[in-house]
Amino acid sequence: MSDFDGTKHGFLFACTNKTEKECFERLLFGTERAYGPVVIRIKKGDLLFLNNLSTNVLYGVFRAVSDGKYNIQPDSWSGKYPYQVKVDVLGKPIALENAKIILKKIDMGRYTILSGKKLIELLDCFMPDNLLFNTTQNPNDREPFRIIMAEKDGIRKNKNVGPIFEVPPIEATTFWDFLRQGYGSTNKGNNKYPGVTPALIIYNLIWRYTDPEDLVVDPMCGSGTTIDVCKEEMREVKGYDISPVRSDIIQNDARKIPLENNSVDMIFIDSPYGDNVKYNDHPEDIGKISSETEKFYDELEKVMQECHRILKEGKILGWLIGDQWVKNKFTHVGFKIYDRLCRYFEPVDIICVARRGQSSHTGLWFNRARRFNFYLRGFKYLIIMRKTSEKESRKSRKVEWTNYERVKK
């Protein structure tokens, strides 16, 4: 990744008493999808550490002998931890007690990527005082420390050393509030583009619902945010737009997508909310139709039908949409889009995405909203839908609720 070019980094893995033995026997570290965004950033030669959560022991120091990948050994840990990296040991494993204290001091967690001084500080924890130069010690016992010393020297000499990098964690609630349009050090789309999509929306969707090399499609690609996120997160991607602004976006009308039936692993759409924004001069742009008319929803329903056709069964569509309030009239665009989507897909969830960077988010407009008794648009809906078979949609289920008694004071 461009964030880490030319730099050696440190990564933390976790195990338990049940999984530690397999880590050492296979010389393979693995984790679940939640930490996949960290694993795919591991490059051959990076340094790795293993924390046994059951015993509070930190093992080191390991070197990656492969890049971090998906399913290097699919049968390992019964398939529970598919995001993996092959490792070897720098001499022999060194075990440190009180892992929680060490990691807290270094300020390192599962989403943290260390480099430079912080990585050297962690390596120092594995270097006993004066042990390297103890002439009475067996030379073979000193070898791991010589290797660690060499690693530290290499890190010091590297001029591309960056700060601690935190990989964005996957959102856990149905309220998403992103302070920036992008993440990391590379551009994701163009934040000057009208209605540009926050990159972490796409990041969260693909890490919840796809794996590396799955095909993601954006039929209304705008400035290309989906393309940039998918490439960085190792997904295949196709971006279309009726009026492309860059060469890797394919010119196409979303009402007829040139892909085969049941061929796509995930679809993301940030569609127009009406005719409130001028995206381009193309006469067939749906964004030229008012959301106060049924024609607007009829045309977007054609897009929904195409999405249903190309999406594989069981796979996910994410649709970002906002409501409209203009000249004392409210239009519940999000509800209407949700209603149309339910004709073709099964609801999974609805996320509330905070709106930031809006031209109306100024002191002047806040003052007007209070004085003239109206509300500024504070959020968008991210509607998450799944394509199901007819058999699945007819299937009934029974939920057994756990009822908790109220404790009387």
375 burial (CB, 10 Å; 0-12 / 13-18 / 19+) is exposed
Q: How many domains in the chain?
A: 2
In a domain, 374, yes or no: yes
254 belongs to a structural domain: yes
Is residue 400's pLDDT more than 70? yes
Q: DSSP label at 127?
A: S
Are 237 and 355 in the same domain? yes
My answer on whether 129 and 264 are in the same domain is: no
* β-bridge mates for residue 353, sequence order: 176, 380
Classify 333 in phi/psi space as left (phi over 0), alpha (psi -120 to 50) or beta.
alpha
CA distance 222 to 320: 13
| Closest C-alpha among 186, 233, 125, 144 to residue 3 | 186
Structure tokens at 293: 């008319």
Contact 195, 270 (CB under 8 A): yes
The closest of 155, 71, 67 to 118, measured between CA atoms, is 155
Q: Is the peptide bond before 277 cis (omega within 30 degrees of 0)?
A: no
Q: Contact at 8 Å (CB) between 191 and 366?
A: no
One domain for residues 78 and 191: no
Question: Given pLDDT bands bounded at 50, 70 and 90, which one contains residue 7?
Answer: confident
Distance CA 314, CA 184 (A): 31
Strand partners for 330: 325
312 and 330 housed in the same domain: yes
- For residue 371, what is the DSSP state? H
Both 158 and 185 in a single domain?
no
What's residue 319's pLDDT?
98
Q: Residue 341: pLDDT above 50? A: yes
Type of residue at 88: D
* pLDDT average, residue stretch 95-111: 93
pLDDT of amino acid 178:
93
Q: In this predicted model, what pLDDT tens digit does every residue of 296-314 receive, in sequence order?
A: 999 999 999 999 999 999 9
CATH number for the domain spanning 8: value is: 3.10.590
**DSSP-based three-state secondary structure for 235:** coil
Domain residues for 10?
2-166
Last residue of a domain, one of 136, 166, 196: 166
- β-partners of residue 11 are 48
Rounded average pLDDT over 211-234? 96
The CATH number given to whatever domain includes residue 327 is: 3.40.50.150
367-392 pLDDT, tens digit each? 998 998 988 888 999 999 999 986 66
- 42 and 125, same structural domain? yes
Q: Are residues 88 and 33 in the same domain?
A: yes
Last residue of a domain, one of 166, 199, 214: 166
Check whether residue 267 and residue 365 sit in a common domain.
yes
On whether both 76 and 185 belong to a single domain, the answer is no
Domain final residue, candidates 166, 193, 217: 166
Give tens-digit pLDDT for 313-339: 999 999 999 999 988 899 999 999 999
pLDDT in tens, 228-287: 999 999 999 999 999 999 999 999 999 999 999 999 999 999 999 888 778 788 989 999
Residue 52 included in any domain: yes
The residue ranking higher by pLDDT, 151 or 393, is: 151
Per the domain annotation, does 404 fall within a domain?
Answer: no
CB 39, CB 84: distance < 8 Å: yes
User: 210, 188 in Cβ contact below 8 A?
Assistant: no
Does residue 37 fall inside a structural domain? Answer: yes
Would strands 346-354 and 379-386 be described as parallel, antiparallel, or unpaired? Answer: antiparallel
Per-residue pLDDT, 2: 39
151 falls within a domain: yes
List beta partners, residue 86. Answer: 28
Per the prediction, the chain carries an average pLDDT of 89
Return the bridge partners of 364, or none: none
Residues 216 and 340 grouped into a single domain:
yes
Nearest partner of 177 among 374, 380, 332, 384, judged by Cα: 380
pLDDT at 4 over 60: no
Backbone torsions φ then ψ of 50, nearest 5 degrees: -125, 120
pTM: 0.90
Residue 1 confidence class, pLDDT cut points 50, 70, 90 = very low
pLDDT of the residue at 169: 94
In this structure, the answer to whether residues 221 and 92 fall within a common structural domain is: no
Whether residue 370 lies inside any domain: the answer is: yes
Only one residue has tokens 């500080």, namely 121
For the chain, the distance separating the N- and C-terminal CA atoms, rounded to the nearest angstrom, is: 57
Distance of CA 142 to the CA centre of its chain: 42
Interval 119-141: pLDDT, tens: 988 998 887 754 544 544 555 66
Q: How confident is the model over 346-367, as a mean pLDDT?
A: 88
On whether residue 403 sits in a domain, the answer given is no
Q: 63 and 199 share a domain? A: no
C-alpha to C-alpha distance for 97 and 59, rounded to whole angstroms: 9
Residue 162, pLDDT score = 57
Q: What is the dihedral of CA 205, 210, 215, 218, to 10 degrees?
A: -10
DSSP code, position 375:
-
Tell me how far apart the alpha carbons of residues 151 and 235 are, in angstroms, rounded to a whole number.
33
